[in-house]
Structure 1
Amino acid sequence: MKLGIVGLPNVGKSTLFNAITSAGAEASNYPFCTIEPNIGVVAVPDERLEVLSTMFKSEKITPAVVEFFDIAGLVKGASKGEGLGNTFLSHIREVHAIAHVVRCFDDENIVHVDGEVNPIRDIETIELELVLADLETVERHVVKTERNARNDKSLRPYLELILKVKSVLEEGKMVRTMDLSEEEEKELKGLNLLTSKPVIYVANVAEDQIGVADENPHVIAVKDYADKYGCEVVPVCGKIEAEIAELEPEEKKEFLADLGLQDSGLDRLVKAGYRLLGLISFLTAGEKESRAWTIKDGFKAPQAAGTIHTDFERGFIKAQVVSYSDLVELGGLAEAKGKGLVRMEGKEYVMKDGDVVEFRFNV
């Protein structure tokens, strides 16, 4: 899973990225300090792995991961090249979803590119640039398709589709707001449109807003905006997340407890990304390793096996499956087998989050 962190300059994107990855991306109080996207790989929080590791006496734990792309701040006119905008927009095309960081704090020591904090205006500035960039892409594609459709009538349904997309973009709307069929979404996939990517809004709040972010008028405005489009809002405080990132696991738990929180904002952001993209994790466990594997919700057993190795999918025979909850409740694999809760599943089995699996294959 690849999440691109976007937003206007000086909204806290690089501070947030540093907290996520401890990668040391430069964070400075001036626009465009990030030019090439910094990329960090982040573990998906999953306490189940610790339990399985103890149960199976595993030598190591390997969590599922998310790649975060820290993309430089966009400004008004980015679609026309302002602020090196075309370069930044091309970086967004590489990600599966967008984490749109919105400044919801007031701080006279940190300049705002537009002079004042106004999260809805900021969101609309970014999204308009994405719309304009997509419109340029679609207009070029319409010209090419119209020319080819003169001699190939089979292209006419596709031409109608991209003309429909063009009209939506001309109204200033995002492609993701369209009611498209699964087939239409597949047909548009090759265009890799920016406004078709799902979005999480990350409301960056001040330190004194942690725990009461829902009362922040800026956050309320962002949530009202997001609700109109069925998007999720995750409030975080970049400064506090940066502090948490420096702590050991036990210290982190104590720190969060003192703040009255169960999860860090970053953990909630990663989990929101999973929900946004319709992802789940299945688990494998043994003496060498306990590991989480990321798959699309709805994957069948052979497809899941293929995420481990293509040979597993090609030569799939059966999957030995037990749910994590059953395994833990009974205390081990032998006990679960004794209760008949370890199943042999075939090619049509649809995987569930938390399935503990051993695949059998023959190549």
Structure 2
Amino acid sequence: MPLNCGIVGLPNVGKSSLFSALTSIQANIQNYPFCTIEPNVGLVEVPDYRIQKLSEIYISKNSIPATCEFVDIAGLVKNASQGEGLGNRFLANIRETSIVAHVLRCFVDDTVSHVSSTLDPEDDILTIQTELTIADLESIARQKERILKEKKVKNPDLQKKVAIMEPLLEKIEEALNKNQALHTLELSTDEEVYYTQLQLLRAKPTLYVCNVSEQDVHEGNAYVEKVRAVAESEQSTTIQVCAKYESELASLPPHERKEFLENTGIEHSSLSLLVESAYALMGLRTFFTAGEKEVHAWTFKEGTKAPEAAGIIHSDFQRGFIRAEVFSYEDIIAHGSEHNIRSAGKVRTEGKNYLVQDGDIVHFRFNV
């Protein structure tokens, strides 16, 4: 389950600059609204130092990191849900992503136009949230009409669905009208199933990305603090980047990037920072398969059992799952090789109920 991240925001906040820096794909960047029309898409490798270490230990012929897909979605404006700007096309692009990175302009620059007369990232957040909320309320209204029709059908299975959906839709509608982040709703297991099927825009986990100037890259500013306060109220996350610095970093040869980061005093690139924060927000983790042929990183959701993790590699692995042989990344670093780990009795045999952990190295045994 690769991470799929939609980059959204108002026009001219630095979305396309950040996208280009993250993916090394040159997006169309102009000083006017809607220079991005069709979404730009880039697939990047997830930074993970463990891949290189494992490849060295196994002397692997190939290493395959986990990947993340970034989608640069054109700028939303007020009344987008009613077709303003490029409207519903953008809302549909957001619906297809698994997490939203909401880029906010937190820098002052009179040479770069802004859709509002004043710089106010808190108001910018509300503008985007309002458009997503309106679209979701319309979706809920359609669902409620469908439920009214289904209530008249004398079918036990359908009536069971209606009994769950009717109060669920009321709960969601109330939360949307209060501008409550939907991921904070407390849902039963049955409600969770139908809630996921609704594919609501406000249900997307949101990572707030504050785009600051070179002067504010280390300390931040009052705009960043406003964004952070909003994020904390929603149980979301805020990160701070300088898209201008990141664009310069992306244009350098790989061997010069470390020196650039050191000279600017930036600890981590925006790619590392954004992916790490998105993984944490979504509860994503990484396990590995390793051998002489290749070392491969696989993304999974926290709480995944061994057979489901095997299914991430191939459906046959899950269907014919017998057991998993497991040891940790820390174990192989401590012992130096898989042979030494096995000699030390550190390899565990786990069954169908084992919850895979971040950094696990797994050999799946299966029969189909």
TM-score where L is the length of structure 2: 0.95
Does residue 258 (structure 1) correspond to residue 263 (structure 2)? The answer is yes
More moved, 31-40 vs 181-190: 181-190
Q: 1:181 aligns with which of 164, 188, 193?
A: 188
1:149-201 Cα offsets, whole Å, 9 max, x none, are 13344313311211222233233434334232343222122221000111000
- Counterpart of 2:248 in structure 1 is 243
Q: 1:117 aligns with which of 105, 116, 119?
A: 119
- Counterpart of 2:51 in structure 1 is 49
Does residue 203 (structure 1) correspond to residue 197 (structure 2)? The answer is no
Identity %: 48
Structure 1 position 350, deviation (Å): 1.1
| Structure 1 residues 291 and 34: alpha-carbon distance in aligned structure 2, compared to 1, 3 A threshold | same
- Counterpart of 1:338 in structure 2 is 343
Structure 1 position 301, deviation (Å): 1.2
- Counterpart of 1:292 in structure 2 is 297
Structure 1 position 87, deviation (Å): 0.8
- Counterpart of 1:93 in structure 2 is 95
SS at match of 2:86: helix
The residue correspondences of 1:13-162 to structure 2 (distance < 5 A) are: 13-152=15-154, 153-154=159-160, 155-162=162-169
Amino acid at match of 1:230: Q
> How many Å separate the matches in 1 of 2:97 and 2:166?
26
SS at match of 1:173: coil
TM-score where L is the length of structure 1: 0.96
> How many Å separate the matches in 1 of 2:290 and 2:204?
34
Q: Are 1:92 and 1:194, in contact at CA under 8 Å, matched by a contact in 2?
A: yes
More moved, 260-269 vs 248-257: 248-257
1:286-307 Cα offsets, whole Å, 9 max, x none, are 2221110001111111111111
- Counterpart of 2:197 in structure 1 is 190
Q: Are 1:58 and 1:287, in contact at CA under 8 Å, matched by a contact in 2?
A: yes
Q: Are 1:131 and 1:174, in contact at CA under 8 Å, matched by a contact in 2?
A: no
Q: Are 1:39 and 1:67, in contact at CA under 8 Å, matched by a contact in 2?
A: yes
More moved, 281-290 vs 103-112: 281-290
SS at match of 1:319: strand
SS at match of 1:41: strand
The residue correspondences of 1:157-172 to structure 2 (distance < 5 A) are: 157-172=164-179
> How many Å separate the matches in 2 of 1:103 and 1:40?
22
1:221-268 Cα offsets, whole Å, 9 max, x none, are 111111111110010111111122233444222222222333112211
Q: Are 2:22 and 2:271, in contact at CA under 8 Å, matched by a contact in 1?
A: yes
| Structure 1 residues 172 and 353: alpha-carbon distance in aligned structure 2, compared to 1, 3 A threshold | closer
1:261-288 Cα offsets, whole Å, 9 max, x none, are 3311221101111111111000112222
> How many Å separate the matches in 2 of 1:231 and 1:185?
20
Amino acid at match of 1:105: F
Does residue 358 (structure 1) correspond to residue 363 (structure 2)? The answer is yes
> How many Å separate the matches in 2 of 1:246 and 1:330?
39
> How many Å separate the matches in 2 of 1:156 and 1:52?
51
The residue correspondences of 1:307-346 to structure 2 (distance < 5 A) are: 307-346=312-351
Q: Are 1:103 and 1:204, in contact at CA under 8 Å, matched by a contact in 2?
A: yes
SS at match of 1:83: coil
SS at match of 1:156: helix
Q: Are 2:42 and 2:71, in contact at CA under 8 Å, matched by a contact in 1?
A: yes
Q: Are 2:40 and 2:73, in contact at CA under 8 Å, matched by a contact in 1?
A: yes
> How many Å separate the matches in 2 of 1:196 and 1:121?
20
| Structure 1 residues 42 and 132: alpha-carbon distance in aligned structure 2, compared to 1, 3 A threshold | same
Q: Are 2:133 and 2:176, in contact at CA under 8 Å, matched by a contact in 1?
A: yes
- Counterpart of 1:306 in structure 2 is 311
Q: Are 2:164 and 2:191, in contact at CA under 8 Å, matched by a contact in 1?
A: no
Q: Are 2:181 and 2:234, in contact at CA under 8 Å, matched by a contact in 1?
A: no
- Counterpart of 1:226 in structure 2 is 231
Q: Are 1:211 and 1:259, in contact at CA under 8 Å, matched by a contact in 2?
A: no
For structure 1, the residue ranges without an aligned partner over 5 or more in a row are none
SS at match of 1:58: coil
SS at match of 1:322: strand
C-alpha root-mean-square deviation of aligned residues, in Å? 1.4
Q: Are 2:16 and 2:72, in contact at CA under 8 Å, matched by a contact in 1?
A: yes
1:299-341 Cα offsets, whole Å, 9 max, x none, are 1111111111111111112222111011011111111112111
